Amino acid sequence: MYGTAGKESALITVTSVNVNGLRAAARKGFVQWLAATEADVVCLQEVRAEPHQLPEEAGRPAGWHVVHAPAAAKGRAGVSLYTRREPDRTRIGFGSAEFDGSGRYVEADLPGVTVVSLYLPSGEVGTERQEEKVRFMGEFLAHLKRLRERAAAEGREVLVCGDWNIAHREADLKNWRGNTKKSGFLPEERAWLDQVLDPADGGYVDVVRALHPDTEGPYTWWSYRGRAFDNDSGWRIDHHYATPGLAARALKARVERAASHAERWSDHAPVTVVYGP
């Protein structure tokens, strides 16, 4: 494992955030946030731009090694990884004929850990978008198992960060009763996360929930409609899912919620976790 600015250290800090369009986020405050962050790794989702369309200070900032995975469909999806230390290896896509060009998966091998930035499809009940989400989930669970097994054989841990677009438990969204038939909180989606987090199946750990077992939220996304942010009527859909060895080393986690609605540069907030030796 490594720490701040790529120096050998006992700690590694990882942040994940859906930027809701990196060009817009850059104008609203992302650049200043990135300059101030103490994270060693930053995972971005919903970048929605080709690398050449991004301003230098957002797309290729000084002091960072960056890999962008834009979607083939212009202006859609897109994930990125920013690391202080140059990765040993990077990979775009997870071996899916349907989804490898959709800008939803990028991984990087760093000392002792493989870090993934994931943007799982959002879905909408009764539409092709939901069918796409279900297909993705089926392929992705099989990949998560292979990834965990491969990493274990190499003596590595795995951390999958990103916008999973599913709230797992009732504590993960404010108005859970009104969303039981909506994509993002469907019984079958929640059951799929049960599989991902089952020690005998997917074998991953919800790091933030493990650190905050009895907390409502902490929410990571609030609709721009109405006063959802001001009322903290949100969803916890942005997650750090780690193999058990790494999850056990998580020291603290926080959602970097903006101080006010006007100071937000995305409808999501960064989720930051510090991992120890």
pLDDT of residue 226: 87
pLDDT of residue 5: 43
Compute the distance between CA of residue 145 and CA of residue 155 in angstroms, rounded to an integer.
15
Task: Confirm whether residue 143 is marked as ligand binding.
Answer: no
pLDDT in tens, 117-133: 999 999 999 999 999 99
Task: Confirm whether residue 20 is marked as ligand binding.
Answer: no
Q: For residue 160, what are its two tokens? A: 């999958």
Nearest Cα to 81, choosing from 135, 15, 29?
Answer: 15
Q: For residue 126, what are its two tokens? A: 């009764």
Q: Please, what sign has the CA dihedral across residues 184, 188, 191, 197? A: negative
Helix, strand, or coil here: 37? coil
Helix, strand, or coil here: 36? helix
pLDDT of residue 59: 96
pLDDT in tens, 193-242: 999 999 999 999 999 999 999 999 999 999 998 899 999 999 999 999 99
Question: Are the C-beta atoms of 145 and 202 separated by less than 8 Å?
Answer: yes
pTM: 0.95
Kindly state the DSSP code that residue 273 receives in the 8-state scheme. E
Question: Are the C-beta atoms of 157 and 151 separated by less than 8 Å?
Answer: yes
> Is beta strand 79-83 parallel, antiparallel or unpaired with respect to 65-69?
antiparallel
Nearest Cα to 222, choosing from 173, 187, 182?
Answer: 173
If you search the block for the tokens 């097994």, which residue do you land on?
Answer: 149
Compute the distance between CA of residue 251 and CA of residue 274 in angstroms, rounded to an integer.
6
Task: Confirm whether residue 52 is marked as ligand binding.
Answer: no
> Is beta strand 79-83 parallel, antiparallel or unpaired with respect to 89-92?
unpaired
Task: Confirm whether residue 46 is marked as ligand binding.
Answer: yes
Helix, strand, or coil here: 129? helix
Query: Which residues of the chain carry a pLDDT beneath 50?
Result: 4-8
Where are any strands of DSSP class E within the chain? 12-18, 41-45, 65-69, 79-83, 89-92, 105-110, 113-119, 157-163, 205-206, 238-242, 250-255, 271-275
pLDDT of residue 126: 96
pLDDT of residue 3: 57
pLDDT of residue 2: 57
pLDDT in tens, 69-83: 999 999 999 999 999
CATH number at 68 reads 3.60.10.10
Other CB atoms within 10 Å distance of the CB of residue 52: 8
Question: Are the C-beta atoms of 113 and 157 separated by less than 8 Å?
Answer: yes
The domain in which residue 209 lies consists of 4-275
Task: Confirm whether residue 232 is marked as ligand binding.
Answer: no
pLDDT of residue 6: 44
Q: Which residue numbers are catalytic?
A: 119, 163, 268
Amino acid at 177: R
Other CB atoms within 10 Å distance of the CB of residue 250: 20
Question: Are the C-beta atoms of 250 and 274 separated by less than 8 Å?
Answer: yes
Q: Considering its fold, how many domains does the chain have in total?
A: 1
Helix, strand, or coil here: 6? helix
pLDDT of residue 8: 45
Compute the distance between CA of residue 107 and CA of residue 40 in angstroms, rounded to an integer.
15
